Amino acid sequence: MKRLIDLGRATFLAGMMVAVAAAAAAESPYSGMVTVKSRHGYAETLTRLQQAIAANHMGLVAQASASRGAAARGVKIPGNAVLMVFRNDYAVRMLAASVPAGIEAPLRIYLTETADGAADITYRKPTAVFAAYGVPALDAMARELDPVFDKIVAEAAR
């Protein structure tokens, strides 16, 4: 009887692990994605992200927002913004290591408004972005950038 209970528990746990893995996979097809819940509303989190990018000596290269575009047409959708972040010295190093990797820059941070008016911040770790190229110099640069992006997001979210 104990073996049946243990087998049942093991089957249940395995099923739960598969379900969790499937849910995570449904969120993003890419490895290295991180989502952090902000303690602030969408608009305040956007401002905090912009400030954290500057405070961490990175550049806000561009910003896009479907919710702003929709609002200009009189359509209301939950807030979202893509912040494109990089810095020229990293760009020079990236291109010296791999011209094809240039398509990855600037790196993106995605801000989304949640149903309760708060916000989620999602980004892909630079090590995951550049890993596909298999270039040691890119990997080294990405390892430098991971903690920078972690810090930007943490500062904006707390």
Q: Note whether 10 and 81 are same-domain residues.
A: no
Note whether 6 and 40 are same-domain residues: no
Residues 66 and 120 occupy one common structural domain: yes
CATH code: domain of residue 70: 3.30.310.70
Per-run averaged pLDDT (10 residues), the chain, 158 residues = 43 35 54 96 97 98 96 96 98 98 98 95 98 97 98 98
Per-residue model confidence (pLDDT) at position 29? 84
| Distance between CA atoms of residues 40 and 51, nearest Å | 14
Range of the structural domain that residue 151 is part of: 31-157
Statement to judge: residues 6 and 63 lie in one domain: no
Domain total in the chain: 2
Question: Do 149 and 83 belong together in one domain?
Answer: yes
Same domain (yes/no): 61, 114:
yes
Q: What is the pTM (predicted TM-score) of this model? A: 0.81
User: Which residues make beta-bridge pairs with 60?
Assistant: 85
User: Which tokens go with 147?
Assistant: 């903690």
* Rounded-to-integer distance, Cα 55 and Cα 62, Å: 17
Same domain, 25 and 102: no
Judge if 48 and 107 occupy the same domain: yes
Q: Are residues 110 and 123 in the same domain?
A: yes
